[in-house]
Amino acid sequence: MLRSALLVLALAQTGCYYLKSAYHQVGLLSDRIPVEKALQDPELSDEQKAKLRLAQEVMAFAEKELGLNSNGNYSSFVKLKQPYVTYVVSAAPKWELKHHIWSFPFVGKVPYKGFFVEDDAKTEEKGLQDDGLDTYMRGVSAFSTLGWFRDPLLSSMLRYKEPDLVNTLIHETVHATLFIKSNADFNERLATFLGNWGTELFYKQREGHDSPTLQAIKNENVDEKLFAEFITKELAMLEAWYKSKPEQNEDLRQSKFKDIQGRFDTEVKPRLKTRSYENFPSLKLNNARLLVYRTYLQDLSKFEALANRTGNEFRAFLEKVKQLEKHSEPEKAINDLK
C-alpha cells in the first residue's frame, strides 16, 4: 500500500503545479475538525467512530512506548469529498529498471508525483506514456506533511481494517519522526519495517501474546517478508536482463513479467499463510509498478539485521537509525551501525 509524503509549504513556490497543490493542501488542513467533534457526527458509523478512537490509542502508544514523534497528528478528522486524498503517478523507462525522478522543495528527489485531482494525475500519466515510459497511477488514502503541520485522520483511512489502520498510523509517524531528503526508497522501507514491528507491539500490549489479531498480523508480516525476499531476487534478475541489452521486443519483455508471476505461483504462493498477495499473478506488471515494490520492500533484511544488533528493542533501533538523518547514502551506512 503506497503512503505518500505530500509536498507542503508550496505557497512559497511558483508554477501551476505548486500553487494548485498548495491550494488543495491548505483547503484540506482548513477542513479539519477535532476528533471529539467528529465522534458526534451522526453520519459516521459506529465502526468508523471506533477507528477514530483506536487512532488516539495508537498515537499515544507510538509516542510513549515507541518513542516516535506524534506531533499532535491524527487528533483531527477530515471527511473527504473523493475516495482518496491524492492520486500518485510513478514512471520508469521501458528498458531500464530505474525510477523516473521528480524533484521538489523540502523532500528533495522522489520517485512519484502526487495530485489532489484525479484528472490531473491522468493527464500527467498520459504525458509520460507519450514520452515512451511505463507508468503506474494509484489512489492514496493517507499522507504525511513530515511534521510541518498536524496531519488529520481522513475518511479514506477509515476503510482500512483496524490492524491496517494501526500500521498506517505508525508508518506515517515514522516519516514525521525521521525523513532523509532525496532518499525516498530508504524512507519507505524504514517506515514499512517499523510499521509492521510497531503494529505487533501495539496488539501485544493491547490484547496479549495469545491474541488472534496479533497472530493474524504476525502471519501477514511473515508473508510480507517472504514476498519481499522473492521480489528482491526477481528485480535483481530483471535488472541484470535489461543490462544485457536484449532485443527491444515488447512481447519478450511481457513474457519476462509473466515468468515472474509464474515463479510466484510455484515458489511463493504455496508457502503463504494469508491472502495478502493472492492477486499478484493477475496484476498487469510493468517497470513502474515493479519499482513500487522496490521502494517499499526490497532488502528489508538490512533493517532486520540492525534490529538484531540492537537487541530487538524498538526504541534502541530508532535511536540508532536516527544517526543516518544527515547521511547522503543511508542504504549503505545502515550496515555500519552497531
Q: Assess contact for 186 and 193: CB atoms under 8 A.
A: no
Q: Supply the pLDDT for residue 2.
A: 40
Q: What is the pTM of this model?
A: 0.93
Q: Which amino acid is at 226?
A: L
Residue recorded with cell 488543495: 24
Identify whether 307 is part of a domain: no
Q: Supply the pLDDT for residue 19.
A: 82
Identify whether 5 is part of a domain: no
Identify whether 102 is part of a domain: no
Residue 120 CA: distances (Å) to CA of 11, 98, 191, 209, 288: 19, 24, 28, 47, 19
Q: Supply the pLDDT for residue 219.
A: 98
Residue recorded with cell 513556490: 13
Torsion angle of the four alpha carbons 318, 312, 306, 110, in this order, in degrees rounded to the nearest 10: -50
Task: Give the residue numbers spanning the domain of 284.
Answer: 218-297
Region 179-207: what's the mean pLDDT? 97
Identify whether 36 is part of a domain: no
Identify whether 90 is part of a domain: no
Identify whether 235 is part of a domain: yes
Q: Supply the pLDDT for residue 70.
A: 93
Would you say the C-alpha torsion 283, 289, 291, 297 has a positive or negative sign? negative
Identify whether 253 is part of a domain: yes
Total tally of structural domains belonging to the chain? 1
* Percent over 70 (pLDDT), the chain: 96
Alpha helical stretches, state H, the chain: 16-30, 35-38, 46-64, 118-130, 162-177, 184-207, 212-243, 250-263, 287-297, 301-309, 314-321, 330-333
pLDDT at 11 over 90: no
The C-alpha cell that represents 37 in the structure block: 467533534
